[in-house]
Amino acid sequence: MLNGPNGPVGNFSLIEVAELQMGYIMELIGALRSGETTQVSAGEEATKRFEAERRSAARSTIWMTGCQSWYLDRHGVPATWPWGFTRFREAMTSPDWGDFDLVGPVATAVT
């Protein structure tokens, strides 16, 4: 899913965001196509860490000033990217393979 929950939709150029996300996804697909791994999924600890950091950072955004918006989850925290575009671009540069659960005969080659 491109431009989905927790992404910088509405904050930056949708085209540039999608291009960066697609490049990142293509690296993941490249590991599958090359046979380095047969399955790749976000690791549980990495997911929990990201969500905790995102929720903490979201508390200091404009979305937390009492507005009512579809961006807010059931706890009133916005499900958006709370950081600047530079951080998003850096995050999309290349997957941190340690943040993924890899399955397959040579999965250790990508880490």
Locate 87 and state its tokens: 């951080």
Residue 80 lies in a domain: yes
What three-state secondary structure class fits 100? strand
User: Where is pLDDT greater, at 1 or 27?
Assistant: 27
Number of domains in the chain: 1
CA-CA distance, 85 to 23, in Å (whole number)?
A: 16
Residue 58 lies in a domain: yes
What are 55-74's pLDDT values in tens digits?
A: 999 988 887 888 888 788 88
Residue 5 lies in a domain: no
Question: Can you give the residue range of the structural domain that contains 72?
Answer: 14-109
pTM: 0.84
